Structures are given as C-alpha cells and as structure tokens.
Chains A and B, each alone.
Chain A
Amino acid sequence: EAQVTQNPRYLITVTGKKLTVTCSQNMNHEYMSWYRQDPGLGLRQIYYSMNVEVTDKGDVPEGYKVSRKEKRNFPLILESPSPNQTSLYFCASSSGTGGGLNQPQHFGDGTRLSIL
C-alpha cells in the first residue's frame, strides 16, 4: 500500500531533550516536506526537499533541522525542543517533477508533539 509513515504518532517530552520524528515513503517520490499545524494558523511549511541531498527552508524553519540522505526518508530533528514547538506535525511526499510540482502531495497521519 502506498503510504507516508510517521513515527512516533504521539510524544510528550521536556525542553532541551533532542528528538527526531521519522518520515518514510514507499512511493519512490522525489519531493518530501514537513509541516506544522497550530490552532487558527492552518498548515505552515517547515522544510522541504526536492531530491536526495537537496533541502530548502519553508516558512517556519527556526528550531528545526532535516536531512535527506536517501530518497525514502526525511527525518525532522529538533535539537533543543522548546514549548513553542508543541504542535501537530505532518510529513508529505510527491512525485511532482521539476520545479512545477504538478502532482499532489500524499500526507502522513501526523505526529502530535508536546514539549513541556
């Protein structure tokens, strides 16, 4: 089954304790992206990757890191989490080619992070 898998689905942790949210897709998609969703703010893009070893900042990259060492995986790293990073996070992938991204994105089920 074609899917985007995020882990963990839920996490409660404390300020400053490094964490990684994994994202994996089995569709051989070149494009992958991370979003966060906060009440009243819709979805905001954190980082995206057009291909292996190519990553770019979205609208809210501060406090996050990503890597794209292989096509299927795109982990989101919070080196020193803070309470303002408490949010619902989504990973997505797409087969959109070139710069036009003319194919829809497939989203994971989300990861709910709580930073105390």
Chain B
Amino acid sequence: DAKTTQPPSMDCAEGRAANLPCNHSTISGNEYVYWYRQIHSQGPQYIIHGLKNNETNEMASLIITEDRKSSTLILPHATLRDTAVYYCILVRRGGKLIFGQGTELSVKP
C-alpha cells in the first residue's frame, strides 16, 4: 500500500509561513493527496486536496512535485490557532484512505 511520511513535529513563528512536507513516493496515478488537521481530539478538519496541479484556497496552498512523489502544505501566515496535528493522506480508488503519522505543528508567538 502507498504510504505517506511526514516529520513528527515542526515549529513556526507566528505570522510566518509554515511549510509542511509530505513524502508519498509510491503514490499511484489516480490517488489524490489530501491534507487535514486535528486540534486536540476534535474531528479532523479538511484543509485542501489535489491530484496533479498545485492548489490554493482560503486556508492554504498545496504544492505537488511534478513526479507526484512529494507535496508541501503551505500556511501563508501562521497564527496560534493553526497549532495542530497535520495529516497528509492519500485517497485511492475505492475509498480506502491511507494516513501518515502526522506532523505536530507548534506556532509560537
């Protein structure tokens, strides 16, 4: 099964961009890359997703490399409320989700 690899933790200064990497070197051609975040033990919150092209929405940007083997989630101006665990997820045909271990992002004043 294709899996994702993320650093276990990262720090970011408030107001700066947070760049969270994800490696998915065995991704299949029809698998989407999704990013979610989880604050404490609440239900995960959707952030952004993409297949091949870079994507941007009101929360973040997603940069996917041309070979699709890795991606980066960018929070352009991190705030203290962005402190959370961020999950990079592959979604494959048939609905099976493959979670990484997540990156615990700490935004510091």
Contacts and interface: CB of A to CB of B under 8 A. Distances in A.
Identify the interface centre among B41, B97, B101: most chain A CB within 10 Å of its CB: B97
Nearest to B34: A104
Given A101-B32, A104-B34, A43 B93 contact: no
Interface of B: 30, 32, 34, 41-46, 49, 51, 87, 91-97, 99-102
A4 to B, nearest CB: 8
A45 B45 CA distance: 16
Given A88-B41, A100-B30, A42 B100 contact: yes
A100 B93 contact: yes
Given A42-B87, A100-B30, A101-B32, A50 B41 contact: no
A96 B100 CA distance: 21
